[in-house]
Amino acid sequence: MGGSPGGPIDKSPHEVEDWERLADAINSALGARGLQSTDEHRRAIESLQNYRDLSYYERWVAATEKLLVQKGVLTDDEISDRAAEIERRWGGT
């Protein structure tokens, strides 16, 4: 990354969304509990196939998910099922 060519820097601020705050918080809380380390999380981010297609916090969530599944704390299915339920609820019908 360092030294590669790059375009102009976008200095526009973006309001942190609640889900992004939550991503930060879950990450720290898991770290404080010793369930994942900063370095594991970084490594998980780097290993994402679609790294360049995701936003900063999307990468964070994807990495946290990857680690939780790898460590057997949660399963991919549980997360997907619950996420779908939540989306349905937000859909508002």
Partner 1 sequence: MSEHHTHEQTTRSPYAARIRAIEALLLEKGVLTEPEVQDSISYMEARSPANGAKLVARAWVDDEFKELLLSDGKAAAAQLGMDPEHPAEFVVVENTPKVHNLIVCTLCSCYPRAILGRPPDWYKSFEYRSRAVREPRAVMREFGYEPPEGVEVVVHDSTADVRYMVLPMRPPDTEDLGEEELARLVTRDSLVGASVPRASATTP
Partner 2 sequence: MGRDLSYGPGDRVRVLPAEKPGHVRTPGYLKGKSGWIEAVIGRFPNPEDLAYGLAGRPERNLYKVGFRQADLWDDYEGPAEDILYADVYEHWLEPGEGGTA
Q: Quick one: what does residue 26 bind among partner 1, partner 2, none, with the CB cut-off 5 to 8 Å set by partner type? A: partner 1
Contact 70, 48 (CB under 8 A): no
- How far from the centroid of its chain's Cα atoms is residue 39's Cα? 14
Place of tokens 């360049």: 52
Which residues of this protein are in contact with partner 2, per CB under 8 A? Answer: 1-3, 37-40, 42-43, 46
C-alpha to C-alpha distance for 48 and 62, rounded to whole angstroms: 8
Q: Which of residues 25-44 bind partner 1 (CB under 8 A)?
A: 25-26, 28-30, 32-33, 35, 42
Q: Which two tokens stand for residue 29?
A: 């809380």
Q: Kindly tell me which of 49 and 90 has the beta carbon lying closer to partner 1.
A: 90
Are 57 and 20 contacting, i.e. CB atoms less than 8 angstroms apart?
A: yes
Contact residues for partner 1, defined by CB under 8 A = 1-14, 16-17, 19, 21-26, 28-30, 32-33, 35, 42, 45, 52, 54-58, 61-62, 64-65, 68, 73-74, 78-87, 90-93
